[in-house]
Amino acid sequence: MDEYDNAFESYLRQFEPRRPGALTHGQTTPFLRLRRLAAAVVVMMFIGASILLVRQKPLPTGGGVNTARFSAQGQPASVLPMIQLTQLALENPTGLDASLSEASRSMLPDFQAARSTLRVLAKE
């Protein structure tokens, strides 16, 4: 490095680059804030979608004998439709017994609903 370069280097050093603002430990940059905001939006969208899905799921209408809420395996059981049961009772009583017996193997009685099996039986 010769004197010629040294002089020019000194000249360049008269120009001071601007200093960045103070750095603090708890500081968040706009990028970080943006990332956090994006994460919050994703979480909110997920929660919103979940709520919508739950609301759109068809509920039992009470049109059948709600013999069970859950099967023995803990899975939601299907409701036996009242119309089908009535039809079966009129046309094929033996088939009705067989159908109810079959259903009872995988269903537990519902103790809570207004039209639950136990309430119906108690009234009778």
CA 115 to chain centre: 28
The reply to whether 16 sits near other proteins by the rule CB under 8 A is: yes
- Contacts with other proteins by CB under 8 A: the residue count is 21
Structural contact between residues 99 and 92, judged by C-beta atoms closer than 8 angstroms: no
Q: Are 63 and 83 in contact (CB under 8 A)?
A: yes
Strand partners, 66: 116
Quote the least distance from Cβ 33 to other proteins, whole Å.
10
Q: Which of 3, 21, 54, 83 binds other proteins (CB under 8 A)?
A: 21
Least distance from C-beta 15 to other proteins, angstroms?
Answer: 4
Binder among 3, 11, 58, 75 for other proteins (CB under 8 A): 11
| By CB under 8 A, residue 36 contacts other proteins | no
Cβ within 8 Å of residue 117, ≥6 positions away: 65, 66, 67, 68, 109, 110
List contacts with other proteins (CB under 8 A): 5, 8-9, 11-21, 23, 25, 27, 29-32
